[in-house]
């Protein structure tokens, strides 16, 4: 893929959504034909239908918010990694929204055996994303995407994880903006670093993330500057 090209607009989405829709219909058909009667509990049918309606509504909201409010199509067209809005809670809200809808529909069967479908859908999404879109995104956005993955769940919406504490390190030998940029760029390449900001006046380096002090030291010393340790 050439650097000037943008990522596919649809990606693996139609295949994933089509697959979980077929699995949902197949599961409900097996239930209606009596093959899964051991999972039918009459007293749970109404509560499961109510929960199914709620899940469908949540799925429609997630999908609609991701498509209309987050403007993911504009992000793809402009080669911008979208990480705000609903994308700050889930990395694949368009697919997750469809998954919630399918799960909600399956609950209308009132069959406990179909409670395995969310597990199947989650595993299927994880596998397909790892093998396709996550590779494309890593190739396109590199460390920015890796940091995003550490903060936000792939499948199930949840509060974004903290990016890590800020640590201050002493750096000697920085005398100009070029020195400052060299140190910052080297440290930003370290795995687990969310951000790196050097100060010429204070002769310090502020690093946000989970990277170890040794890995920061190696990155700084690899540029020829003196790492004096954590302050």
Asked whether residue 77 falls in the same domain as residue 125, the answer is: yes
If you average pLDDT over residues 156-176, what whole number do you get?
Answer: 86
Q: Is the distance from CB of 117 to CB of 27 less than 8 angstroms?
A: yes
Separation between Cα atoms, residue 228 and residue 122, nearest integer Å: 46
Number of domains in the chain: 2
Asked whether residue 29 falls in the same domain as residue 107, the answer is: yes
Asked whether residue 35 falls in the same domain as residue 141, the answer is: yes
Quick one: DSSP state of residue 212? -
The CA-atom distances, in angstroms, between 140 and each of 18, 77, 86, 221 are: 26, 13, 21, 28
| 7 within domain boundaries | no
pLDDT in tens, 60-114: 999 999 988 887 878 778 878 888 899 999 999 999 999 999 999 999 999 999 9
Asked whether residue 33 falls in the same domain as residue 138, the answer is: yes
Across 49-63, 140-154, 190-204, 217-231, the highest mean pLDDT is recorded for 49-63
Asked whether residue 130 falls in the same domain as residue 184, the answer is: no
pLDDT in tens, 169-206: 999 999 999 999 999 999 999 887 878 899 998 899 99
| 184 within domain boundaries | yes
Higher pLDDT pick, 9 / 24: 24
Quick one: DSSP state of residue 40? B
Helix 117-131 vs helix 93-106: angle between axes, to the nearest 10 degrees? 160
Provide the residue range defining the domain that includes 220: 166-230
Tell me the whole-structure pTM to 2 decimals.
Answer: 0.71
Query: Strand (E) positions, the chain?
Result: 166-172, 193-199, 204-209, 226-230
Asked whether residue 7 carries a pLDDT value surpassing 90, the answer given is: no
User: Domain holding 210: CATH number?
Assistant: 3.30.70.100
Asked whether residue 166 carries a pLDDT value surpassing 90, the answer given is: no
| 5 within domain boundaries | no
Asked whether residue 90 falls in the same domain as residue 57, the answer is: yes
């Amino acid at each position: 893929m050439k650097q000037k090209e943008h990522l596919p607009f649809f990606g693996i989405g139609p295949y994933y959504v089509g697959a979980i829709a077929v699995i949902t219909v197949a599961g409900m058909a097996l239930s209606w034909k009596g093959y899964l009667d051991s999972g039918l509990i009459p007293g749970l049918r109404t509560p499961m239908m109510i929960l199914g309606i709620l899940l469908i509504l949540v799925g429609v909201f997630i999908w609609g918010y991701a498509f209309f409010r987050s403007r993911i199509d504009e992000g793809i067209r402009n080669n911008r990694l979208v990480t705000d809005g609903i994308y700050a809670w889930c990395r694949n809200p368009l697919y997750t929204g469809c998954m919630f809808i399918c799960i909600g529909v399956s609950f209308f069967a009132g069959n406990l055996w179909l409670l395995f479908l969310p597990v199947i859908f989650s595993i299927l999404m994880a596998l397909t994303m790892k093998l396709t879109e996550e590779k494309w995104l890593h190739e396109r956005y590199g460390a920015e995407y890796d940091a995003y993955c550490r903060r936000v769940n792939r499948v199930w919406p949840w509060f974004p994880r903290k990016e890590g504490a800020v640590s201050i390190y002493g750096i000697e030998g920085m005398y100009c903006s070029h020195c400052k940029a060299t140190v910052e760029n080297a440290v930003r390449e370290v795995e687990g670093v969310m951000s790196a900001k050097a100060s010429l006046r204070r002769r310090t380096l502020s690093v946000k993330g989970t990277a170890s002090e040794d890995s920061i030291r190696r990155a700084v010393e690899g540029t020829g500057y003196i790492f004096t340790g954590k302050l």
